[in-house]
Structure formats: structure tokens, C-alpha cells
């Protein structure tokens, strides 16, 4: 019985995700599903990305949290459209939640939609939101062994952002081991090494993201 229930949940989510994907396609909108552990720097990356791109790319954000509007208020202060989703205890966003949130965003005016998923390396990887790209953040403070412990999210992600590289040398984090592990699991992943605190590496990340936005907009 439990297997049938789970199959029904995933099937319903897939159908709604396809609706979202088609909606993004019609609007020429790049939607990224930003996933990470709590404290890895999801909101910080969004703020720094918006600051770099807002004069070049029209950005909107969906903030997902179990409770509160703290992160949404931070992002909203940058003068962009933001919608908050509080899951009320659920450890991930799903496609239906995103579909409802889209009604509150000016989709025709946007080129990039950043969806900040709930802080978790497990559940978010299992639910397709209809996104164009999956992006995972890993911070140096979390250790280089996380891809081995949570393989699904690192196997599925299109880009890996290694945040807090200003902390390299302050722990036993091994950058070469991380790169080898991730690229063995996911040879096509794009890896960005940066620090949201110091700004190091952010231009490379923002430039890649802008290029992906332009690529989506150029599709017929």
C-alpha cells in the first residue's frame, strides 16, 4: 500500500512539473531549482546574484521555507518580485506549490526565476519542480564527503556551487577530492568555486547564469 501511495504522489508531481515546464517554455524563462543544506548560503547566493544581474537580467524569486519570511524579506529588499512558500513542515517544495506561486509572479516580465528550495540534501532531489536547471550549493564548512553521503542530489545537479572558499585551509576540506568525486558521479556538471562573503568567483557564476538565460530566450 505504501508503495502505491508513493507512486501516486510522484506521478501527480510529474504531471504538475510538466505543466510548470511548459509555462516556463512559453515565457522563455530560465527557472533554476536551488538546493542545499541549511547554512550553505542559498539566500546569500541569491542576493549576490541579483545584485550582479538585476541591471542585465529580469529576476524573480520563489522562497521556500518550513516557516517564516526572513529570507524573502532579505531578497525583496533588492527590489525584485518575490513569493514566499511556507511548507508547514514538509522538507521540500513540490511542483504543485510552485504552480500556485507562479500565479503571484509577473512571468511575462521575467527572464530568470530562482527557486530556493527548503534546506535539505535529500528530499528536494526527489521532486521535479519543472525547473530548467538544478543547482546545488555545498559549503566548505560541510566537508568534501557530502557527495558520497547524498549521491542523488549531486548526480542530478546541473551545476555545483562550492561556497565559502575563503575558509579553505581552515579545515581538512580537500578541494581536489571533491572535484574528482563529483566529476566521477556527474561528468557534465559545471562547478563554480566562490565566496558570497568576499565576492571571489561570483562574476564567473553570474556570467554563466546570464549565458544560460540568453540561451533559453533564443530558443524558438
Say which DSSP state 184 is in.
H
pTM of the predicted structure, to 2 decimals: 0.94
Contact status, residue 92 vs residue 57, Cβ threshold 8 Å: no
Q: Give per-residue pLDDT as tens, 38-80.
A: 999 999 999 999 999 989 999 999 999 988 888 899 999 999 9
Q: Give per-residue pLDDT as tens, 79-134.
A: 999 999 999 888 999 999 999 999 999 999 999 999 999 999 999 999 999 999 99
Instruction: For domain 2-217, say whether CATH 3.40.50.300 is its number.
Output: yes
Q: Per residue, what are the HEC states of 2-68?
A: HHHHHHHHHHHHHHHHHHHHHHHHHCCCEEEEEEECCCCCHHHHHHHHHHHHCCCCCEEEEEEECCC
Amino acid at each position: 500500500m505504501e508503495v502505491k501511495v508513493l507512486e501516486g504522489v510522484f506521478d501527480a508531481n510529474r504531471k504538475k512539473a510538466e505543466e510548470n515546464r511548459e509555462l516556463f517554455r512559453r515565457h522563455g524563462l530560465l527557472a533554476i531549482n536551488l538546493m542545499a543544506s541549511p547554512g550553505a548560503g542559498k539566500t546569500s547566493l541569491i542576493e549576490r546574484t541579483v545584485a550582479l544581474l538585476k541591471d542585465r537580467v529580469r529576476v524573480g524569486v520563489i522562497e521556500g521555507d518550513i516557516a517564516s519570511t526572513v529570507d524573502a524579506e532579505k531578497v525583496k529588499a533588492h527590489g525584485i518580485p518575490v513569493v514566499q512558500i511556507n511548507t508547514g513542515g514538509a522538507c521540500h517544495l513540490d511542483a504543485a506549490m510552485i504552480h500556485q506561486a507562479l500565479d503571484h509572479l509577473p512571468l511575462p516580465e521575467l527572464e530568470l526565476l530562482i527557486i530556493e528550495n527548503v534546506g535539505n540534501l535529500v528530499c528536494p532531489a526527489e521532486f521535479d519542480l519543472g525547473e530548467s536547471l538544478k543547482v546545488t550549493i555545498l559549503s566548505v564548512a560541510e566537508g568534501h564527503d557530502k557527495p558520497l553521503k547524498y549521491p542523488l542530489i549531486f548526480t542530478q545537479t546541473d551545476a555545483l556551487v562550492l561556497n565559502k572558499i575563503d575558509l579553505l585551509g581552515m579545515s581538512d576540506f580537500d578541494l581536489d577530492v571533491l572535484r574528482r568525486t563529483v566529476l566521477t558521479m556527474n561528468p557534465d556538471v559545471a562547478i563554480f568555486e566562490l565566496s558570497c562573503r568576499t565576492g571571489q568567483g561570483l562574476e564567473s557564476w553570474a556570467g554563466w547564469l546570464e549565458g544560460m538565460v540568453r540561451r533559453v530566450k533564443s530558443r524558438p
